[in-house]
Amino acid sequence: MKWLHFIVTKLTFSLILGILIAYFGTISWATSCFIFGGLFCVLCVFFWIARKQFIQKISFGIVALTTMVSLGMVIENFHEEKNHASHYSHVNLVENIQFRIHEVLKSNSYYDRYVGEVFCVNDTMASGKLLIHIRKDSLSKSLPVDAILYTQKLPIPVKAALNPTAFDYKTYLEDRYVYAQLYLKSGEFLLATHVPKTLYGAAASLRNTIHQRLLDNNFKADELAVIEALLLGQRRQISKELQTNYANAGAIHILAISGLHVGILSFLLQFIFKPLDRFRYGKPLKLVLILSILWSFAFISGLSASVVRAVTMFTAIVVATHFRRQTNTLQVLTVSMFFLLLCKPHFLFDVGFQLSYAAVFAIVCLQPLWKKLWNPRSFLGKSFWGLLTVSLSAQLGVLPLSLYYFHQFPGLFFVANLTIVPVLGIILAVGILVIILAYFQVLPEFLSRFYSEIIQYMNAFVSWIASHEQFVLTDIPMRFLQMIGCYLVVIAFAQYFHLPKRKHLKIAFCSILMCQGLWFLDRLQNFPTTASFAVLHQSKATILAKRQGTSLQLFHNLDSSATAKNYTLKNQQQQDFIEKVTQDSLQNVYAFHKAVLLRIDSLGIYQIPQLKPNYILLSNSPKVNLNRVMNDLKPEFIIADGSNYRSYVARWKAAARKQKIPFHYTGEKGFFSIPYVRLELR
């Protein structure tokens, strides 16, 4: 592929490699700077020599790419906030902390949630980000962006995933440079009265004003949530049910501002400012206006990875069109990726960033292949085939990533896209008009009613597609190496169909063999050679998991209505290579090959003749004297799961420490695993 020979492609891959080395490795900030400085000096020498040579040697290219790798390491270490001496994590004893609300997150039933930027710790300048939880009450109001808070509460670490295969929220936050959290309630913090406005605060204030003006025009909750997602990039108000419907219909990308939305906006702006081309300085003015509006739109919508990527790409296209330069879309995409990673290296680990680039690269590379297959002559035929092939190409591009992250595939995605995408331009254009008129409080009632009905019909159509649950394939396991293997096959066959040569066909078939090899390698690495038994963490319930080969048996005390919706159970069933899942009620005794586990529940029964358990599991807050239990049974380990009161757990922990018996609370340390050969129930 010619794209691989572009200089910017090689530089981008080298930059990505450097970011990955610094992210997963232990190279310090000083070491990476030293390596980059040395390589840069060597590069300057090679460049001075290369200027005098007509044919460049490969050594110059190797040094240049190696220097770019080291630059990636420097950038990753520079953006790692813990490497800065002012970061709050370097303060040994935090007595008070001041922070500014940087971002408002989606609230839950109990807390309003924010991202806060620390600027002062112990009355000394500091930096860093915190996840803020503020308890809801009848008197409290949601805090705006830029609000400044003072508190003496201490930040606490974010917990890692408590169960295997569960979403690791700690890693997710660390990729956004958030390393600790604060839980606050009324009376535990002070609000500053005079707060300077930042650009982020101004953008949030504008969004809040638009939200209030739309509310004044009687938009319903679901319609308003979709409008704000489509045009303001805010998805906090979308209900869980509506979001699930869009995901199951394969139309979730419509709710996230991306290249599709920015492309339509760019086309509309080109059309609106077309008359400026007639004037002497009209074209430069048109360029400035379009770019200003695009980046203002990106800023108002919150500068998410997908929005910034799309606006960066269309900025390059608009500039190239203005100077009458022929643009190579793949090259423009790569340039946008290069500069984004140069400024924000952790975008590389953002799921939206990965999915958006995978989709656009797939559309650019695969859609021409569908045209070779069939190129209809009629306008309707071309439109239908174009929309269908764009949807198919995008789905092929994001399918491995989607299975890796979400483990499901919407079978009716093409129905939603063929119906909604053709009218999305009209929806966005009318939506922009509605927002402008609503902001200036001159929105006619008929227009607000008309637009509300459009969104309502779109939501109803998506819900109808999502209701056909038999077409939504769920619980599909996919690991990293398997995902890489799938992409190798897609890329190899795309190359063959672009240039159908024998060597490309050989490469394509070799990619299938390589994919199979990666699948088998991953299976060998991760397939359990011994059986295991785990005490999982679940609030207000007990869940035990027994895995033996490809079979998984779950013991729990959840009621039937909660079982189907329980994420812990679903995550266990999505484990790799699980072919059979059974569920059973809890037992009191589990006997292993060389050990016995006794579960003491709320009944408090533990005196079983001739039973000397190695492990004791405390569940459902049994009212027992743990000191007496330990003296009678002499266990090797005490386990408490999430079904117990915290006050009980604290008391048991102190008792176990006093008798020097290891104590494991799943709410703090996560699941507890016991390897075994044979399991017997009693």
User: Taking Cα atoms as reference points, which of 467, 490, 449 lies closest to residue 361?
Assistant: 490
The confidence score (pLDDT) of residue 568 equals 67
- 449-458, 502-511, 517-526, range with the lowest pLDDT: 517-526
The confidence score (pLDDT) of residue 637 equals 93
The confidence score (pLDDT) of residue 151 equals 94
Distance CA 100, CA 128 (A): 11
Percent residues over pLDDT 90 in the chain: 37
The confidence score (pLDDT) of residue 291 equals 92
Confidence of residue 526 (pLDDT cuts 50, 70, 90): low
State both tokens at 528: 């359990």
190-209 average pLDDT score: 88
125-146 average pLDDT score: 89
The confidence score (pLDDT) of residue 571 equals 67
The confidence score (pLDDT) of residue 527 equals 66
Confidence of residue 497 (pLDDT cuts 50, 70, 90): confident
Contact 589, 681 (CB under 8 A): yes
Confidence of residue 200 (pLDDT cuts 50, 70, 90): confident
Distance CA 169, CA 105 (A): 14
Q: Given a cut of 90, is residue 549 above it in pLDDT?
A: no
The confidence score (pLDDT) of residue 671 equals 92
Please, what's the b/e burial string for 195-217 (b: 16 or more CB within 10 A of its CB; e: otherwise)?
eeeeebbebbeebeebbebbeeb
Confidence of residue 47 (pLDDT cuts 50, 70, 90): confident
Distance CA 593, CA 529 (A): 15
The confidence score (pLDDT) of residue 448 equals 93
Confidence of residue 594 (pLDDT cuts 50, 70, 90): confident
pLDDT in tens, 486-495: 898 988 888 8
Q: Given a cut of 90, is residue 5 above it in pLDDT?
A: no
pLDDT in tens, 169-186: 899 999 999 999 999 998
Q: Given a cut of 80, is residue 351 above it in pLDDT?
A: yes
CA-to-CA dists, residue 395 to 146, 251, 253, 408, 547, angstroms? 39, 11, 11, 12, 34
- 7-16, 39-48, 578-587, 595-604, range with the lowest pLDDT: 578-587
Q: Given a cut of 80, is residue 139 above it in pLDDT?
A: no
Q: Given a cut of 90, is residue 341 above it in pLDDT?
A: yes
Confidence of residue 564 (pLDDT cuts 50, 70, 90): low
Q: What is the 3-class SS of 436-475, one letter each residue?
A: HHHHCCCCCHHHHHHHHHHHHHHHHHHHHHHCCHHHEECC
Contact 5, 36 (CB under 8 A): no
* Unique residue bearing structure tokens 């232990």: 26
The confidence score (pLDDT) of residue 577 equals 67
Give the chain's length. 682
pLDDT in tens, 425-441: 889 889 999 999 999 99
Percent residues over pLDDT 70 in the chain: 94
pLDDT in tens, 262-304: 888 888 888 888 888 888 888 889 999 999 999 988 888 877 7
User: Taking Cα atoms as reference points, which of 592, 581, 586, 582 lies closest to residue 555?
Assistant: 586
Distance CA 119, CA 478 (A): 42
259 burial (CB, 10 Å; 0-12 / 13-18 / 19+) is buried
User: Taking Cα atoms as reference points, which of 136, 86, 138 lies closest to residue 111?
Assistant: 136
The confidence score (pLDDT) of residue 529 equals 62
User: Taking Cα atoms as reference points, which of 323, 317, 308, 296 lies closest to residue 364?
Assistant: 317
Distance CA 225, CA 238 (A): 5
CA-to-CA dists, residue 11 to 36, 68, 339, 555, angstroms? 15, 6, 11, 52
**Mean pLDDT for all residues in the chain:** 87
Confidence of residue 611 (pLDDT cuts 50, 70, 90): confident
Distance CA 642, CA 629 (A): 20
Q: How far is CA 323 from the centre of its chain?
A: 37
- 2-6, 248-252, 336-340, 498-502, range with the lowest pLDDT: 2-6
71-79 average pLDDT score: 94
Sign of CA dihedral 333, 339, 341, 344: negative
Q: Hey, which of 120-134, 560-574, 589-603 has the most confident mean pLDDT?
A: 120-134
pLDDT in tens, 94-128: 889 999 999 999 888 889 999 999 999 998 999 99
- pLDDT higher at 383 or 97: 97
